[in-house]
Amino acid sequence: PDRALIVAVTGAAGQIAYSLLPLLASGTVFGPQQRIKLQLLDVPAAESVLKGVCCELEDGAYPLLDHPVLYTSVADEAFAGADIVVLLGSFPRKPGMERKDLLAKNGTIFRDQGQALNRVAKADAHVIVVGNPANTNAWTLSQFCTKIPKEHITALARLDHNRLKSLVARKLDSAVSDVHNVIIWGNHSATQYPDVTYAYTPQIVQGKMRAALGGDSQLASEVIPLIQKRGAEVLALRKLSSAMSAAKAIGDHLRDWMFGTQTENEIVSMIVPSDGSYGIDKGLMFAFPVQCHRGGKYRIVSDLRIDDFSRKYIETTLAELRSEREEAMRLVSK
């Protein structure tokens, strides 16, 4: 394609961006023919770091990367004409901070960025929210960004999805590429439900995976909590939250969304506005099983049977998301 794809990235001076920007610039995400133009946003205090990142992007001599790379602390400049918007920047939880303070702080950021996108982004831009609390930040953004179709505003569940897929492969001693159709449901938080009910490999047919992993009590005591707490495990070990794996997951999310999943029946997990499937409130940002088709289209897989074991987990994460949305709603209606 002749035209460069305009990709805006916020939180671009941070650690996920440092792993993500090379994936974008090298063609790993949008393909080896697609030129891209990067427009980077961070807060004024990070200006020198951001400038340093731009120097490194220049020094990478990426053939697909248009120059100059734009960097700014003004959202309207970063979002101008954007086709793809990756929102990494958010306010981190500080010691002693209550969840509602965190929601309020981020509510303001995502309100302002939603309004900025509304002013200057392309009307059919594709947006992915990564900054936490990701589901609710995406919900707030979508309330203020009415120009972009609601289903174009998504958030990242793919890291949790990839963590589960890899864990299943390791447990079964299979290749990761042989594991299909794991699912993450709900909030990107410790209440998420990592579900293997519909997963399969060449050896283990659909319907037998829960038994193959040791049965429901083993899932409840080991597999599910491992995935729910994996982010905390990495944080404790690295003293920094997941970044390399988060960047890989963002690339996977964007590539599948734009170009379709590898096969028609492949399921991936994305946080998208609910269409009412599975009794999830319409419009709530919830991680669902989805199938992606070429051209930036996806469909929520809405006909899976949910048994009592799964339903209990889905209800817990749903309750948490409803209460987060209520806090965020207070801000929206102010």
Q: How far apart are CA 229 and CA 191, in angstroms?
A: 9
Q: Does position 104 bind ligand NAX by CB under 6 A?
A: no
- The torsion angle over the Cα atoms of residues 25, 27, 30 and 34, rounded to 10 degrees, is 90
The letter for the amino acid at 27 is G
Among 23, 37, 40, 90, binds ligand NAX (CB under 6 A): 90
Pattern 25-64, binding to ligand NAX, x per CB under 6 A? ----------------xxx--x------------------
Reduced to 3 states, what is the DSSP secondary structure of residue 9?
Answer: strand
Taking the complex as a whole, the smallest distance from the CB of residue 45 to ligand NAX amounts, in Å, to: 7
Name which of 98 and 264 has its Cβ closer to ligand NAX.
Answer: 98
Q: Interaction with ligand NAX in 298-317: which residues (CB under 6 A)?
A: none
Name which of residues 229 to 248 contact ligand NAX (CB under 6 A).
241-243, 246
Q: Residue 312 CB: number of other CB atoms within 10 A? A: 12
Q: Which two tokens stand for residue 50?
A: 């951001």
For residues 219 and 200, give the distance between their C-alpha atoms in angstroms, rounded to a whole number. Answer: 16
Q: Is 260 in the site for ligand NAX (CB under 6 A)?
A: no
CB-wise, 38 or 243, nearer to ligand NAX? 243
Whichever of 109 and 224 has its CB closer to ligand NAX, that residue is 109
Residue 299 and residue 290 in contact, taking contact as beta carbons nearer than 8 Å: yes
User: Least distance to ligand NAX from the beta carbon of 308, Å?
Assistant: 28
Residue 134 vs 199, nearer CB to ligand NAX = 134
Who's near 189: CB < 8 A, 6+ residues apart? 133, 317, 320
Residue 226 Cβ, how far from ligand NAX at the closest point, in Å?
Answer: 16
In order of 39, 49, 181, 249, the CA distances from 76 in angstroms are 10, 20, 39, 27
Least separation in angstroms between residue 17's CB and ligand NAX is 6
Of 88, 125, 287, 290, which lies in the binding site for ligand NAX, with binding defined by CB under 6 A? 88
Of 126, 161, 180, 188, the catalytic one is 188
Query: Does residue number 114 form part of the binding site for ligand NAX (CB under 6 A)?
Result: no
Is-catalytic flag, 188? Answer: yes
Calpha distance 12→46 (Å, rounded): 9
Asked, as a colleague might, if the bond just before 92 is cis with ω within 30 of 0, I would say no
Q: How far is the CB of 202 from ligand NAX (least distance, A)?
A: 29
- Asked whether position 131 contacts ligand NAX by CB under 6 A, the answer is yes
User: Does residue 181 belong to the site contacting ligand NAX (CB under 6 A)?
Assistant: no
| Segment interacting with ligand NAX (CB under 6 A) among 13-21, 161-169, 192-200, 272-280 | 13-21
DSSP string, 131-190: SSSHHHHHHHHHHH--SS-GGGEEE--HHHHHHHHHHHHHHHT--GGG-B--EEEB-SST
Residue of minimal CB distance from ligand NAX? 14
Closest CA to 235 of 98, 126, 134, 93: 93
- Residue burial 102-128, b: 16+ Cβ < 10 Å; e: rest: bbebbbebbbebbbbbbebbbeebbbb
Q: Catalytic positions, please?
A: 188
Given the rule CB under 6 A, which residues bind ligand NAX?
Answer: 10-11, 13-17, 41-43, 46, 88-92, 109, 130-132, 134, 156, 159, 188, 241-243, 246
